[in-house]
Homo-oligomer: A and B are copies of this chain.
Amino acid sequence: MLDVRKLRLLRELSHRGTIAAVAQALAYTPSAVSQQLAALEREAGVPLLHRTGRRVALTPAGTQLAVHTEAVLADLERATAALAASREVLTGHLRIGAFSTAMRTILPAALVTLGRDHPGLDLTVRELDPANVADALRTDQLDLGLISAYDYVPVEPDPALETTPLLVETMYLASTRSTTIVDCRAASWILASPETLCHTMTVRACQAHDFTPRARHHADDFATVLALVAAGQGVAFVPELGAADPPAGVVLTALESRRRTFVAYRRGTGEHPAVVAGVSALRQVCSGLVPGF
């Protein structure tokens, strides 16, 4: 019988690529991961990963085994969900991860609803860039994660996760005057921190218009971004929710581009009562937030 704990390491390796990263993600030492994978390989009787110098890569058999592991883990999640559903009252933890705008605009109301309807549920919220949500869900650091996708940065489907759509927002170009993206090719841009989704989005959107944005400031919070725009420090992309209450002097130009927000959860947890409650609370809040949705 294959050991699920070891399979989980293999699955995580297929996502992260290095043993060191797997070890860090699952709070092990690289040595432990290496030993466990070696043991799994021995039990499997087939090479699962081939060493190329100082790196490792999955063999086809290893990739295939990782795919099968997704099914096993999803079934185990379904089993725990059924156990939770068999309890009469909803208790336990629900850990939600959200990007900063959602943190301010969506979550407070959702938390109130959840706290009222399910007083036995311990709610924990963590601010997290969408780029890290999938990893955090997979490694069981989170139960629900809000992710957003831009037209230029589609969300890549993760076999370990399921998603439910929450919101579609219009994107705006924030400036001190009415303008277009192309007219801002020489302007200063206010970007988010590197490695974040917003940063990637701005760069990709500008590249689609054949230029690279010249970064003058870095700010992750859209309220801060708009304050900088109002101060004449540059232009920026902001989504509808981030531009709810723009400071004086900021002109918002609606774009064709859209931002889509989803809530993601581990495959198999969709029937878990805590997840059901969380998703429906988020949907409820979002349906009252953007008129057109």
Chain A residues with CB under 8 Å of chain B are: 1-2, 4-5, 7-8, 44-46, 60-61, 64-65, 68-69, 71-72, 75-76, 78-80, 82-83, 86-87, 140
Contacts and interface: CB of A to CB of B under 8 A. Distances in A.
Contacts of A83: 44-46, 61, 64-65
Nearest to A68: B79
30 contacts: A1-B4, A1-B5, A1-B8, A1-B76, A1-B140, A2-B79, A2-B80, A4-B4, A4-B76, A7-B79, A44-B83, A45-B83, A46-B83, A46-B86, A60-B86, A61-B83, A61-B86, A64-B82, A64-B86, A65-B82, A65-B83, A68-B75, A68-B78, A68-B82, A69-B79, A71-B75, A72-B72, A72-B75, A72-B79, A75-B75
Contacts of A5: 1
A79 B43 CA distance: 12
Nearest to A81: B68
A91 to B, nearest CB: 8
Nearest to A140: B1
A110 B7 CA distance: 36
A256 B186 CA distance: 92
Contacts of A87: 45-46
Nearest to A59: B86
Given A61-B83, A64-B86, A65-B82, A76 B46 contact: no
A259 to B, nearest CB: 34
